[in-house]
Amino acid sequence: MAEWQRGRVDTVMTVTDFLASGLLIPNSVDFKRQFRAACGYAELGMTAESTAELNAIDDEFQHRPEVLQLRLHHLMRKKHWSRALTVSRRLCRAAPQASAGFLHAGFCLHQIGRTREAKELLLRGPTALLKEPIYYYNMGCYEVLLGNLKDARVHLQISF
C-alpha cells in the first residue's frame, strides 16, 4: 500500500458518502448525474471514464470540493504529483477547514522533493488535521527525513 493511502478513508467512498447524504450536491440534475457517474466509474477502477465525466461537469461546479477530491484521487493514483499538488491546493482553498487538501498537498510536496515545505504546510493547516492519525504519521516521516528524530518519534507514537 502506498504511503499516501495509509490510515486514510478511501477518497472515492468519502465522495460517495457525500452523494448519499445530499450535503454537498447543488441543485443541478446534470451535475448530480455526471458526478454520480464519475464516482461509479472510479469505484470500478475506470479512471479514464471517471475523468471524462468530471471534465464534462459545468465549469461552475469544477471547483467544488467533491469534484476536486475525486480528480485528485485519480492524479495521485497515477503519481502525477505536480498536477495533484495544483488540485490539492485548489481543494485547500475550496474547503479550508477540511484536512484532505492539506494532507494531500503535503504528500505531493514530499513526493516532488519538497519535504520541508510539506511539513510547513501541515503545520499551518486547519485544526481538523490534529484528529487525523495520517497527519501524525506523515509528520513523523517528514521529521525523519529532515533529521529531527525526537520529533519524528513523538509524531509516530501519536499516529499509532
pLDDT score for 10: 53
pTM for this prediction: 0.79
Q: What is the pLDDT of residue 1?
A: 38
Alpha-carbon gap, residue 101 to 75, rounded angstroms: 13
pLDDT of residue 120: 97
Do the beta carbons of residue 77 and residue 47 sit within 8 Å? yes
Neighbours of 158 (CB within 10 A): 14
Domain boundaries, the chain: 3-114
Gap between the Cα atoms of 43 and 11, Å rounded:
10
| Cα–Cα dist 50/44, whole Å | 9
Q: Please give the pLDDT value at position 14.
A: 55
Give the model's pLDDT for residue 29: 78
pLDDT the model gives residue 150: 95
In 3D space, the residue among 76, 71, 83 whose CA is nearest the CA of residue 103 turns out to be 76
pLDDT in tens, 36-77: 999 999 999 999 999 999 999 999 999 999 999 999 999 999
Give residue 17's pLDDT: 53
Those residues of the chain that have pLDDT short of 50 are: 1-9, 19-21
